[in-house]
Copies of this chain bind each other. A is one copy, B any other.
Amino acid sequence: MNSKALPRQVNNIEVGVYECEIHLKFRLIEEKSILGDRDQLLQVLLDALTEGSDEFLETLQSSVKAHEISELKTSPEMRRQLMRLRNCTDNCQ
Give the interface of A toward B (CB within 8 A).
7, 13-33, 35, 41-43, 45-47, 49-50, 55-56, 58, 60, 62, 64, 66, 68-69, 73-75, 77-78, 80-82, 85
Taken together as a complex, chains A and B put the C-alpha atoms of A68 and B36 apart, in Å, by 10
Q: Please indicate the chain B residues that have their CB under 8 angstroms from the CB of A60 in the complex.
A: 19
B49 engages A75 (CB within 8 Å): no
The contact of A55 among B18, B32, B33, B77, by CB within 8 Å, is: B77
A81 engages B15 (CB within 8 Å): no
A78 engages B45 (CB within 8 Å): no
Q: Please indicate the chain B residues that have their CB under 8 angstroms from the CB of A45 in the complex.
A: 20, 22, 64, 66
